[in-house]
A and B are shown apart, each in its own frame.
Chain A
Amino acid sequence: MDENDLNVLVEGTVRYFENSVARAAAVGTPYLLTERGQAVLSDYTGLIGVSGARRGCIYFTAPSAMLRHILLSHGETEIDGRYMADVVGEVANIISGNARRVFGHDFAISVPDVFSGRPAAGKLRLGERSFVIPINWRQYRAALVVSLAA
């Protein structure tokens, strides 16, 4: 994965928040996860498996308060943990799927696998070079984590 690949996902993240929740997100400078030495996980995580020319995973992780805010902004009123898991998966799906505009048909993505808190053993396998794209939306902090190998 090179800088251009990463930029595709950064731009996709920006575009998602601009078009979906009526308020832009501030997307920070991506950094290598291994440099920080710890996984980045928030309350809910939507994990997308990637196969084809690029292999690995992409995940979107966000605090429950942010997901609740997103759902409220879409007019939802009955919000529970199941619904927050659903929306975190849908955000991951949209950002990953939109990347096929540049990566093409061979960027095969799975259906979202969602979890709250820590993942079950073996569920989240990150490669040696995993990048964190920090996302600040309103007062909340989320992240898109990209772990892809060519």
Chain B
Amino acid sequence: MPAVAANTHLKLLVVDDSQFARNRIQRALALRSVRKVIVASNGVEALAVFQREQPQLVTMDLTMPQLDGIGATTEMVRLQPSVRILVVSALADKATAIEALKRGANGFLLKPFTDAQLNDALTLMMRALPHG
């Protein structure tokens, strides 16, 4: 995956089985550096889109059919270690957050969230990108 100069043309992949949740994230997004948003509705579809589009940022739901967010996160990090993954989930226990981080996620945002919380969390993710 090519490094992105100053992170000004980032792609964000939004993974969630709920259309409402996907739209909620897209509508809340207020980051100029994110130039393209793509979506997937389960872990299997997410991996296919991930390999095709090579996004630098991912928001990842956990509870999804076919392949859950933990499995998808593990595979994405294996394919592209520099990807930054923000888990966006309703699962509020510490063990789940710790497991996601162990598998390579870089942050955890609990649903429901405010627009500011989402943008702050993604901004933190972007700072950690190569050339960020």
Q: Using CB atoms and an 8 Å cutoff, list the residues of chain A in contact with chain B.
A: 16, 19-20, 71, 74-76, 83, 86-87, 89-90, 93-101, 103-105, 107, 109-111
Contacts and interface: CB of A to CB of B under 8 A. Distances in A.
B63 A111 contact: yes
A105 B96 CA distance: 7
A86 B19 contact: yes
Interface of B: 17-21, 23-24, 27, 63-65, 89-93, 95-96, 110-114
B92 A109 contact: no
Interface centre among B24, B90, B96, B110 (most CB of A within 10 A): B90
A108 to B, nearest CB: 10
A104 B93 CA distance: 5
B23 A98 contact: no
B44 to A, nearest CB: 14
B112 A99 contact: no
Given A100-B96, A111-B65, A83 B91 contact: no
B64 A97 contact: no
Contacts, number: 63
A16 B113 CA distance: 10
A63 to B, nearest CB: 17
A20 B112 contact: yes
Nearest to B113: A19
Given A94-B112, A96-B90, 18 more contacts: A19-B112, A19-B114, A71-B20, A75-B27, A76-B23, A86-B20, A87-B18, A90-B21, A93-B90, A94-B111, A98-B110, A98-B111, A100-B91, A100-B92, A105-B96, A109-B63, A110-B63, A111-B65
A100 B93 contact: yes
Nearest to A71: B20
Given A74-B27, A93-B63, A99 B92 contact: yes
Contacts of A16: 112
A100 B95 CA distance: 10
B111 A97 contact: yes
A101 B20 contact: no
Contacts of B114: 19
16 contacts: A16-B112, A19-B114, A76-B20, A86-B18, A93-B18, A93-B63, A93-B90, A94-B111, A95-B90, A96-B90, A97-B89, A98-B110, A103-B93, A105-B95, A111-B64, A111-B65
Contacts of A103: 93
A83 B19 CA distance: 7
